[in-house]
């Protein structure tokens, strides 16, 4: 591993907000400082695809004016935040990491983005990601790979690699990402930050450029559990623009994260600790489990036997939905249009062939095949049936335990280019994350020590539907245990 590292932990949300409120820090100066750091480090890490300076500095000026007048400040007043480029911002480039959306500037804000800004956040810009959120390494972006701040020769994870790397390198205090099969949790683990998978429907998907609509979720990244919990509390809640968003009351997740875990029942599934798990990752997660025992938790084994079918099930359901969702990108209404187009048919075929990258094409082909006549029952329908079995297994497990802990990834961050020649090996990187995605439950990944040469390891904490408060409690207990190498 190279000695070059860009890891730098930002101040907490509460600290920064307090400094802005009492005048020790100006929101405008804070934003300017982050832009200076981005200018210095982004050429090396390739985290940001575009910056929204005018909007950010106008928001910072509003916050400073409120502070100068002694007015009550909103919860995220002046906090610099980055946004994954699959989440639209009015007037800002929104490429989803793809050539096919070059030049697209949406006329509206994603609901989650709007809620952050309404809470006072300063939106710095749009973050690099795997094309249309399809990938586990952030090497599929049409605009080049993101590099891991812990070791720039390694991947940051995907698809929200830019979101995770931005927090790890302190190029934003917090960020938003999306998770379809592990795209928040795995990069958070690889970069050594906290990432949150909310329950499906807990956060509105309005303004998210869709990959797989029954799986896609928006969630936050932060450098610590309490900040991540605060961010989720801001963006969660019902939205009339999204019929799948839950009307359930949004809890005070930050306060819940402070509640001791003594007496909680923690499940450990044997299926997540078998062949293929890196020994150093196993050891780090073992220390995390010991820390929960020391904090007063009862640890017991649970079984999730259909886990072995999760990866093929996910890659049937997700690709089928992707083949339908991505049909809208045809060179007609927005984005890239091939100059080779002599006829309408040519325009469709050339625009899509030139605009989409190899991994996106692969998933469209897989999904179209799974939905085609004669194969629908054998593949897509069967995958949906297995998905139901996986969800039922989690329901049974949560009748016995309050939370389930697992490794987030079977291995630490791998080198750039190491797995690009083997798509199946890349897909298997999601083996511990796709189960929760298919079941619709929530989870948090929290740093849990390191593996070789200091590479971060993450522990995944899963909880039942709308059980985010419990997941944050357990994650905070692991965080405060101070698990070291």
DSSP secondary structure of 243-268: TTS--SPPP-HHHHHTS--TT-EEEE
8 is a domain residue: no
Count of residues in the chain? 485
Q: Say yes or no: 295 and 360 in one domain.
A: no
Q: Say yes or no: 464 and 322 in one domain.
A: no
Least confident span in 214-223, 237-246, 394-403, 447-456:
447-456
Over the stretch 390-440, which tens digit does the pLDDT of each residue have?
Answer: 999 999 999 999 999 999 999 999 999 999 888 888 888 899 999 999 999
132 is a domain residue: yes
4 is a domain residue: no
Q: What is the pTM of this model?
A: 0.97
Pairing of strands 174-179, 403-407: unpaired
Q: How far apart are CA 467 and CA 443, in angstroms?
A: 8
Spatial CB neighbours of 91, under 8 Å, sequence gap ≥ 6 = 55, 105, 106, 107
Q: 159 catalytic, yes or no?
A: yes
Q: Say yes or no: 399 and 375 in one domain.
A: no
Is the pLDDT confidence value at 56 over 50?
A: yes
485 is a domain residue: no
For the chain, the maximum distance between any two Cα atoms, rounded to a whole number of angstroms, is 70
Active-site option among 136, 137, 163, 183: 183
pLDDT at 484: 61
Q: Which long-range contacts (CB under 8 A, 24 or more apart) does 328-335 make?
A: 329/98, 329/100, 329/101, 329/355, 329/356, 331/100, 331/355, 334/101, 334/103, 334/104, 335/100, 335/101, 335/102, 335/103, 335/104
Q: How does DSSP classify residue 378?
A: I
Q: How far apart are CA 437 and CA 217, in angstroms?
A: 9
- pLDDT band at residue 288 under the 50/70/90 scheme: very high
Over the stretch 327-345, which tens digit does the pLDDT of each residue have?
Answer: 999 988 888 999 988 899 9
2 is a domain residue: no
Q: Say yes or no: 218 and 206 in one domain.
A: yes
Active-site option among 84, 137, 223, 257: 84
pLDDT at 423: 86
Q: Percent of the chain at pLDDT above 70?
A: 99
**Residue range of the domain that includes 67:** 13-304+392-480
Q: Percent of the chain at pLDDT above 90?
A: 93
Q: Say yes or no: 380 and 420 in one domain.
A: no
Q: How far apart are CA 163 and CA 128, in angstroms?
A: 7
Is the pLDDT confidence value at 5 over 70?
A: yes
Q: Say yes or no: 325 and 442 in one domain.
A: no
Q: How far apart are CA 387 and CA 372, in angstroms?
A: 20
- pLDDT band at residue 2 under the 50/70/90 scheme: very low
pLDDT at 323: 96
Here the tokens at position 479 are 């965080």
Here the tokens at position 465 are 């539907």
E strand or H helix that includes residue 55: helix 53-68
Q: Say yes or no: 207 and 324 in one domain.
A: no
Tell me which of 326, 355, 385 is where a domain ends.
385
CATH number at residue 473: 3.90.1300.10
Q: 437 catalytic, yes or no?
A: no
pLDDT at 333: 84
Question: What is the number of structural domains in the chain?
Answer: 2
Q: Say yes or no: 294 and 344 in one domain.
A: no
Q: How far apart are CA 146 and CA 164, in angstroms?
A: 10
CA 432 to chain centre: 15
Q: Say yes or no: 36 and 108 in one domain.
A: yes
Is the pLDDT confidence value at 270 over 80?
A: yes
pLDDT at 1: 40
Quick one: which of 189, 163, 131 has its CA closest to 48?
163
pLDDT at 485: 52
Q: Say yes or no: 378 and 406 in one domain.
A: no
Average model confidence (pLDDT) across the chain: 96
Q: Say yes or no: 160 and 294 in one domain.
A: yes
Q: What is the mean pLDDT of residues 16-24?
A: 97
Instruction: Quickly list H helices, 374-413.
Output: 382-398
Here the tokens at position 126 are 């749009």
DSSP secondary structure of 163-180: HHHHHHTTSSSEEEEEES
Q: What are the distances in angstroms from CA 95 to CA 91, 128, 175, 182, 217?
A: 12, 9, 17, 21, 18
Q: Say yes or no: 114 and 182 in one domain.
A: yes
Tell me which of 351, 385, 419 is where a domain ends.
385
Instruction: Yes or no: say if 128 and 47 are a contact pair by the CB < 8 Å rule.
Output: yes
Active-site option among 136, 137, 159, 323: 159
Q: 303 catalytic, yes or no?
A: no
């Amino acid at each position: 591993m190279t000695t070059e590292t860009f890891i730098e932990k930002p101040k907490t949300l509460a600290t920064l907000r307090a400094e802005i409120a009492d005048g020790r820090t100006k929101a405008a100066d804070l934003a300017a400082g982050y832009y200076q750091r981005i200018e210095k480090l982004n050429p090396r890490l390739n985290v940001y695809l575009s910056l929204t300076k005018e909007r950010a500095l106008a928001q910072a000026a509003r916050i400073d004016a409120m502070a100068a007048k002694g007015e009550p400040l909103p919860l995220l007043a002046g906090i610099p935040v980055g946004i994954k480029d699959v989440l639209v911002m009015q007037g800002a480039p929104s490429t989803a990491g793809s050539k096919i959306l070059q030049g697209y500037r949406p006329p509206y804000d994603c609901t989650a983005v709007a809620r952050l800004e309404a809470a006072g956040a300063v939106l710095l810009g749009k973050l690099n990601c795997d094309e249309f959120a399809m990938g586990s390494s952030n090497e599929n972006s049409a605009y080049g790979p993101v590099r891991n701040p812990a070791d720039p020769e390694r991947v940051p994870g995907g698809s929200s690699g830019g979101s995770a790397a931005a927090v790890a390198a302190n190029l934003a205090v917090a960020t938003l990402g999306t998770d379809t099969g592990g795209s928040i949790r795995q990069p958070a683990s690889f970069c050594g930050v906290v990432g949150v998978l909310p329950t499906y429907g807990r956060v509105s998907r309005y303004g998210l450029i869709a990959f797989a609509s029954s799986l896609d979720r928006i969630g936050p990244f932060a450098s610590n559990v309490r900040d991540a919990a605060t961010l989720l509390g801001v963006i969660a809640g019902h939205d009339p623009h999204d019929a799948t968003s839950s009307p359930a009351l949004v809890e005070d997740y930050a306060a819940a994260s402070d509640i001791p875990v003594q007496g909680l029942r923690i499940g450990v599934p044997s299926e997540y600790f078998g062949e293929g798990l890196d020994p150093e990752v196993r050891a780090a997660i073992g220390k995390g489990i010991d820390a929960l025992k020391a904090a007063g938790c009862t640890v017991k084994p649970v079984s999730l036997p259909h886990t072995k079918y999760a990866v093929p099930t996910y890659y049937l359901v997700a690709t089928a939905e992707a083949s339908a969702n991505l049909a809208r990108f045809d060179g007609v209404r927005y984005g890239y249009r091939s100059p080779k187009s002599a006829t309408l048919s040519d325009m469709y075929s050339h625009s899509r062939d030139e605009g989409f990258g190899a991994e996106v094409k692969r998933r469209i082909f897989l999904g179209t095949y799974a939905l085609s006549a004669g194969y629908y029952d054998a593949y897509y329908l069967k995958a949906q049936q297995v998905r139901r079995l996986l969800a039922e297994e989690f329901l049974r497990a949560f009748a016995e335990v309050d939370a389930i802990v697992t490794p987030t990834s079977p291995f630490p961050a791998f080198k750039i280019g190491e797995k690009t020649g083997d798509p199946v090996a890349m897909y298997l990187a999601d083996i511990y994350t796709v189960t929760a995605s298919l079941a619709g439950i929530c989870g948090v990944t929290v740093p849990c020590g390191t593996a070789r040469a200091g590479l971060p390891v993450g522990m995944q904490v899963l909880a039942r539907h709308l059980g985010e408060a419990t997941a944050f409690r357990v994650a905070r207990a692991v965080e405060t245990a101070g698990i070291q190498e």
